[in-house]
Structure 1
């Protein structure tokens, strides 16, 4: 399988994670957005949207990373979380 196929596979697998910390979920979110969209292309949410701000910040933290590198990092993080949860990676 190629990188894109592996990425799609792990994007599906992480949906079965029984538990994950908010920090881990934000890392995955930021990498996913960078891999699928590229650099941040929206304004940062305002004061009354703390969840949106956290997600935006996680995405912004990956700015400049190539989409292939973001996919690879996403796969690595997903494997770590799946193994930690005792699920097949």
Structure 2
């Protein structure tokens, strides 16, 4: 995996024409954290921190993937999202 492909995908997901649902965003977040940090290394947030728990759960679901595998899956997911949700035309 070429790190520049991953970096480009990180930027591309920010400018989709439509915003994906929370489930898809959780997959994006979980793969990003797994690719950049590795296996989850923090405690699960309090039940009162719903957003934090959602992010933690999404990252936890990616546990065990290597950083390389997570990068590849992230780039593949973003390419799929660009097709499904639209991507601004480059002038």
TM-score (norm 1): 0.92
CA distance in 1, matches of 2:20, 2:31: 16
Please provide the CA RMSD for this pair. Answer: 1.2
Q: How does 1:48-67 map to 2 (within 5 A)?
A: 48-67=48-67
In the aligned structure 1, how far is the partner of 2:24 from the partner of 2:2?
A: 21
Q: Mind listing any 5+ residue stretches in structure 1 that lack a counterpart?
A: none
Moved segments of 4+, more than 4 Å:
none
- Residue 74 of structure 1 is matched in structure 2 by 74
Answer yes or no: is 1:7 the counterpart of 2:6. yes
- Structure number with the bigger relative contact order (C-alpha 8 A, sep ≥ 6) is 2
In the alignment, is residue 40 of structure 1 matched against residue 40 of structure 2? yes
Q: Does the CA contact (< 8 Å) of 1:46 and 1:53 recur in 2? A: yes
